[in-house]
Chains A and B, each alone.
Chain A
Amino acid sequence: MKLLIKYGRLIDPTTKTDEEFDILITDGKIAKIDKNIKKDDAQLINAKDCIVVPGLVDMHVHFREPGREDVETIIGGSRVAAKSGYTSVCTMPNTNPVIDNQALVRYIKKQAESGPINVYPVAAITKGSMGEELTEMGELVEGGAIAFSDDGKPVMNSTTMRRALEYSRMFNVPIITHAEDITLSGGGIMNEGNNSIFLGLKGIPREAEEIMIARDVLLTRLTKGRLHVAHVSSRGSLDIIAMAKRNTIQVTCETAPHYFSLTDDAIAEHLSMAKMNPPLRTEEDRKAIIEGLRNGLIEVIATDHAPHLPNEKMQEIAFAPFGIIGLETAVPLIITVLIKENGFSFIQAFEKVTTNPCKILGIDRGYIKEGAVADITVINPDKKIIVSEDFIISRCKNTPFMGRELFGMVEYTICNGEIVYPFS
């Protein structure tokens, strides 16, 4: 099958391309990038008014399989991702059972085979993510694990974390830290500050996140391991990461769209729909996150897509689980908040969801060159969308952005040379 993407503005952060080009795809690969390529027998994709970017990569999603297939599945989540412009995702291992042995890693890869996009499993750092014994990391990497994380929980024991960073050096994969000192955050519901005091909700101080990042950065210095910090939400965290980078400690980090789009003011209005961990912080933090993205301190935007069933979220905020869905609102928020409101260039914004995560994870995708795998997303950045029950195709609608009007419509998602969205 041949595809020809015409009239689009090619944005490739890897080659720093920002120019109108046509792209011809044959046999799953990018055959030609040029001006005015003739259509011949290829299927035409009209990308007029659109940007054409490498297929997006989300290195932090929860697809709930195995264990909670009633909430989301690998195939179902992959469809949501395809609709959202993503061609590769990394699934977090905090399922039931936790992804802590090779058979489970293989299971996820097997399930994803019939799905529309590439799924890269992240495996647990410790058995059952209990924070005690290391998983068989060698076996897991051989089975296809792309990184390690006990996401959802921190590795509280510093020696265990030290060993994980040390041992994993053999495989050159990152340890992704869920940075939270649970002895400080325990029982908290939202960011600690004026809003938590006003609403009488138990707060989670920023320091619960920052203390753990500081510890993990220092353990990375000690071990010369590779650390990736998940879902950075606070200004202080960025200060610590900047310090680490100045000292050439191998650390990278990600934030999520909600941390650059919302503050804890959202809790009073959206209640449990704005409850996630780490929690939404303040305007000062939100601004720092945007600046961190602008100056490159934050390499990656990952969604932390966390579906929960309506009845799980329709509870008192204290009882409702943490987490919001993020895939379908990611591109609209990147375009609306970063590009339109904060003047990011397309290259600056989209390297966080293409080039950078691929580099960190060692995935040979995320760029548009002749001969490369044809993972490509076509987005109309000026088309308005309204986040509604219909717009969200995920069964779970747990998002604080419901009702919001945003810019940025994903028109086509092409994965391995096939159109995976719009769905055929």
Chain B
Amino acid sequence: MSGLQRKDLLDIQSLTTEEILLICNSAKYFKSLFTRSIKTVPVLRGKTVCLLFYEPSTRTRISFELAAKRLSADLINIAVQTSSVVKGESLIDTVHTLEAYKADFIVMRHAASLAPHFLSRNIKSSVINAGDGNHAHPTQALLDVYSLMEIVGNIKGLHIGIVGDILHSRVARSDIEIFKRLGAKVSLIGPPTLVPDEFRMYGVDIYYEFDEILPKLDVINMLRIQRERQQGSFFPSIREYHKRFALTNERLKRCKKDVIVMHPGPINRGIEIDDEVADSSHSIINEQVTNGVAVRMAIFYLLAGGTPLDEKEVE
């Protein structure tokens, strides 16, 4: 087997389990480069990576940018302001422009679900989904799995709780899929307005009482809660949300001793997670950021046809 036998990376569903493990294994090698004084390798020399971001993003964009630069790729950065009402150039026209630039990779973030799927059908370049609407954020899910594997080795049997606005979260969907695929037990925690029953189709349990399930969790993945959801009547107030679903210092004390706390960022301190928790030894939030670069380097490498990296190369 060599690399990923596919043009695009659009969602977790379309990846095989072998491909998921291949990406994680390769990420190990790329992470080992980070401690060197020269962190770049010539893997993508002469290749063009285009970052096409239709939605504001800091950490995902920088992570992809750094990954591409450390692989010596040429980089185009396009940030587009868009809404369904006021729009400039259509996506399909933008695509044709990018084809004219001969971009090898298009990394796209878009507020509309399935936009990268639509893009990938109409362009020869590799499309990497950097988050589409509420649908999928596969690179985040891959880096989450990689981060956990770094600590516990095997995800199988781990009980992972995902807390918060599951309904509007692409991270939650991709995480659920990848965690379940690798044999973890997944519980979703939040109010019924944000955790509809349909999520049970993934084979997960749903809890409306955080405190009920808290002591049983090996991993707690906290999602960012957006204040706008209050206007949509998904919950009555931040105050009540915090009281029932925030990972507070007090709640942390009732967790397993070696519980792992994750967050895809950016965090709302004092809203879904308390300061002390975010900065505690349980938190791997910053490590997730570092790993994000390594995982994205591995994805570029493998999509470009790179072969699995030998264990020796890791040393």
Chain A residues within CB distance 8 Å of chain B: 193-194, 196-202, 268, 271-272, 311, 314-319
Contact = CB atoms under 8 A, between A and B. Distances in A.
A193 B198 contact: yes
A31 B90 CA distance: 57
Contacts of A315: 90-92, 118
Contact of B135 (A201, A272, A314, A319): A201
A271 B112 contact: no
A316 B198 contact: no
Nearest to B166: A197
A316 B114 contact: yes
A197 B135 CA distance: 8
Contacts of B173: 198, 200
28 contacts: A193-B198, A194-B198, A194-B201, A197-B196, A197-B198, A197-B199, A198-B173, A198-B201, A199-B113, A199-B114, A200-B113, A200-B132, A200-B133, A200-B173, A201-B113, A201-B133, A201-B135, A202-B134, A268-B114, A311-B92, A314-B90, A314-B92, A315-B118, A316-B112, A316-B115, A317-B114, A318-B112, A319-B112
A318 B113 contact: yes
A311 B110 CA distance: 19
A201 B134 contact: yes
Contacts of A193: 198
Interface string B114-141: 1101100010000000001111100000
A200 B170 contact: yes
Interface residues of B, number: 26
Contacts of A317: 112-114, 118
Nearest to A202: B134
Contacts of A196: 198
B287 to A, nearest CB: 27
Closest 4 CB pairs of A and B: A200-B135, A200-B134, A316-B112, A197-B198
Interface in B197-216: 198-199, 201
Nearest to B93: A311
Given A194-B198, A316-B110, A316-B114, A199 B135 contact: yes
Nearest to B90: A315
B87 interface: yes
Given A199-B114, A201-B134, A318 B201 contact: no
Contacts of B170: 200
A318 B135 CA distance: 12
A198 B113 CA distance: 10
B273 to A, nearest CB: 24
B91 A271 contact: no
Nearest to B116: A316
A315 B110 CA distance: 12
Contacts, number: 61
A311 B198 CA distance: 34
A272 B122 CA distance: 14
Contacts of A268: 114
Contacts of A271: 114, 117-118
B84 interface: yes
User: Which of A193, A200, A202 has most B Cβ within 10 Å?
Assistant: A200
Contacts of A316: 91, 110, 112, 114-115, 118
Contacts of B114: 199-201, 268, 271, 316-317
Contacts of B90: 311, 314-315
Given A200-B113, A314-B90, A316-B112, 8 more contacts: A197-B199, A199-B114, A200-B170, A201-B134, A271-B114, A311-B92, A317-B112, A317-B114
A156 B123 CA distance: 43
A202 B112 CA distance: 10
B306 to A, nearest CB: 29
User: Which of A196, A197, A271, A317 has most B Cβ within 10 Å?
Assistant: A197
User: Which of A198, A202, A317 has most B Cβ within 10 Å?
Assistant: A198
Contacts of B118: 271-272, 315-317
A273 to B, nearest CB: 11
A206 B198 CA distance: 15
A318 B133 contact: yes
B175 to A, nearest CB: 13
A23 B99 CA distance: 59
Contacts of B135: 199-201
A300 B135 CA distance: 37
B295 to A, nearest CB: 21
Nearest to A316: B112
A320 to B, nearest CB: 9
A314 B96 CA distance: 13
A311 B96 CA distance: 14
A315 B121 CA distance: 12
B113 A197 contact: no
Contacts of B134: 200-202
B35 to A, nearest CB: 37
Interface string B100-115: 0000000000111111
A272 B84 CA distance: 14
Nearest to A318: B112
Contacts of A194: 198, 201
A319 B112 CA distance: 8
A380 B80 CA distance: 52
B1 to A, nearest CB: 27
Contact of B136 (A200, A202, A318): A200
